[in-house]
Amino acid sequence: MSEHIIQRLGHHGDGIAPGPVFAPMTLPGETVSGSLDGTRLSEVKIVRPSTDRVAAPCRHFRSCGGCQVQHASDAFVSDWKAGIVVDALRAHGLEVEIAGIETSSPRSRRRATLSARRTKKGALAGFHGRASGVIVDIPDCQLLHPDLMPARRVAEALAVIGGSRKAELHVMATLSESGIDVLVSGGKPLDRDLEVELAEVAARHDLARLAWGDELELSRRPPLQRFGPALVLPPPGAFLQATHAGEAALMAAVSKITRGAAQIADLFAGVGTFALPLAQRSEVLAVEGVAAMTKALDRGWRDTPGLKKVRSVTRDLFRNPMIAEDLRKIDAIVIDPPRAGAEAQIEELAKARVPVIAHVSCNPVTFARDAGHLIAAGYVMDPITVIDQFRWSSHVEMVAGFRLT
């Protein structure tokens, strides 16, 4: 057993001591001991704890890999996540002001992907264990919304009838206005018997919808999602923000940044998270690369009276980014790309010189790269709002306004 002093927390939540030595579930300033295997410390014991150390609120924390920092105080986690954003921007020579951090409450996650596997006695469903492929049951999970917790039993039932003992099922479960919406991947091929059994599981667990890969969709009730006044029927597996509170915080920031714009373009619009609420006061051009999501957004707009015009366009913004001519009449841009960012589209926005850009991101590194492009083109960055929807994880999101000088 060797002793180490933790200097900082890495971006994945492990404590880092000189060496480097990586020690899970530790905090800066702590003296810890353990068995060193390469650069990783195992069988970690806390010799001298940090004043920021707290008792983990979830009894599954030590075994489950769903959370990384339940052992840290809320104030520490907020500062750490804000620091991740600041460090990413400083790496590009950019100084930043943090406007604040919005943290979703415990037991508020409205969607999760559970792993499930058949066993000798039935099935097991939950999250993967810490640094392992073992599935850990999570009956007292402090992340998931209480109304989503029944998805554990749904995943087990699906593994019994459609899984195998060699492969895992991945069960994406999402809360909707009418119940749980489920998309399953990794299951065995469909046949008539399996279709009948899936219908029985959907009825027994009162699911709103059950989709089996790309082959089968059983819809008992439309699993609608609300965006502002609009109700949208997303395709199975469509992207949604992780919590209602996180979505509301992002929407509030985007609305503030784009206030006064008569014409807004929403790039990577999904099924209308921003486009439809913004249409209460502005005309919106909503651009999304997945046709099924574009169609759902358009239907949600058409079925909602009182909204201003929303023009929905299916377009791959990675291969075919919007250019200055496409944005000639646009007063403000909302852009919310995937984790890889949208470098080609950002370069075109810099050339187009749209007066205001609201940039939403789930990756501080690509956000910093994109921010650098915009600032070099003459934009000034507003203070950043940090959004912590994935409580107790290493994941962090942010939104900032960029304005032409």
Tell me which residues are annotated as active site.
362
Count the neighbouring beta carbons within 10 Å of the beta carbon of residue 153: 15
List C-alpha distances in Å: 190 to 153, 185, 186, 187, 193: 21, 12, 11, 8, 8
HEC sequence for 253-278: HHHHHCCCCCEEEEECCCCCCCHHHH
**Element of type H or E holding 244:** helix 244-257
Report the side by side order of strands in the sheet with 179-185: 135-136, 123-128, 111-118, 169-176, 179-185, 209-212, 216-219
Instruction: Determine the Cα–Cα distance for residues 138 and 112; give it in Å rounded to an integer.
Output: 12
Closest CA relative to residue 167, chosen from 144, 133, 138: 133
List C-alpha distances in Å: 13 to 28, 47, 65, 81: 11, 19, 11, 10
Instruction: Determine the Cα–Cα distance for residues 62 and 136; give it in Å rounded to an integer.
Output: 11
Query: Quick one: DSSP state of residue 52?
Result: T
**Region of residue 252 (left: phi > 0; alpha: psi -120 to 50; beta: else):** alpha
Count the neighbouring beta carbons within 10 Å of the beta carbon of residue 140: 10
Query: Quick one: DSSP state of residue 25?
Result: T
**Region of residue 202 (left: phi > 0; alpha: psi -120 to 50; beta: else):** alpha
3-state percent helix, strand, coil for the chain, nearest multiple of 5: 25, 30, 45
**297-302 contacts at long range (C-beta below 8 A, 24 or more positions apart):** 297/232, 297/269, 297/270, 297/271, 297/272, 299/232, 299/233, 300/227, 300/230, 300/231, 300/232, 300/233, 300/271, 300/272, 300/276, 301/230, 301/272, 301/275, 301/276
